[in-house]
Amino acid sequence: MAQTQMALDSLDFDATVALATKVAPHVDILEIGTPCIKHNGIKLLQTLRAKFPNNKILVDLKTMDAGFYEAEPFYKAGADICTVLGTSDIGTIKGVIDVANKYGKKAQIDLINVADKKARTQEVAKLGAHIIGVHTGLDQQAAGQTPFGDLALVAGLNLGLEISVAGGVKAATTAQVRDAGATIIVAGAAIYGAADPAAAAAEITAIAHGGSTGGLFGWIKKLFS
């Protein structure tokens, strides 16, 4: 089973709240995307936290410096998870992990553009990282890249960390991502670009939670269930 996370990427404050209202009952985690949080600020987090007490909220800060100092106000305002770039200094990453622990929350280390993903994952695991983000960015997706190779690498390390996967995931690939080791599956355009975002979110969550399986693992599971 994996949790689902909906990426809220619009710059429009009211449109973001309206979309969150539609999908919140059908996903586990609401993500305030990087452009969205930069444009709208901490007020949006406070609004979503008040409206959706039953959802976890991730703030995709992509912190690059001053980890503790930058992330603390967002944890104080109700964020459950904040992200820090894996390409940042190890002291920056430690700062976000430390402040997450201070508030009983989680820090996610985003591996986007990290050259040696194996070494960095092992390094941050020793620091107490909670979540590793396997992230194929929009520009990388446009160039034809997918997150599956990186997911296999990170999952194969067996470090006991949660693994979040983002990068063009849709209903048709959700079971594959889940069965490959993801514990958090991030969907953006597959939900907000759908004619019925609530229905799209519900479909992806049903699969992520185990409602559909694929590949050899799924065949074996079906055979013995």
128: left (phi over 0), alpha (psi -120 to 50) or beta: left
What number is the average pLDDT over the span 77-100? 98
Is the per-residue pLDDT at 225 higher than 90?
A: no
Kindly report, residue by residue over 136-168, the tens digit of the pLDDT.
877 887 777 778 899 999 999 999 999 999 988
The pLDDT of residue 213 is 46
Task: Report the mean per-residue pLDDT for the chain.
Answer: 92
Q: Please say if the pLDDT value at position 214 is more than 50.
A: no
With H, G, I as helix, E, B as strand and everything else as coil, classify residue 61: strand
29: which 2 tokens? 């985690």
In angstroms, the CA 57 to CA 51 distance is: 11
Q: Which tops the pLDDT comparison, 86 or 211?
A: 86
| Structural domains in the chain, sorted by start | 3-223 (3.20.20.70)
Q: Which of 164, 168, 130 is nearest to 2 (CA)?
A: 164
* Residue with more model confidence, 223 or 190: 190
Say what the pLDDT of residue 59 is. Answer: 98
**And the tokens for 23?**
């999908």
What is the percentage of the chain residues whose pLDDT exceeds 90? 86
pLDDT at 76: 98
pLDDT at residue 120 above 90? yes
Residue 110 confidence (pLDDT)? 97
Q: Would the pLDDT of 48 be above 60?
A: yes
Contact between 205 and 28 under an 8 Å Cβ cutoff? The reply is yes
Q: Which residues pair with 84 in a beta bridge?
A: 63, 109
Residue 31 has pLDDT above 80, yes or no: yes
Torsion over CA: 187, 191, 194, 196 (sign): positive
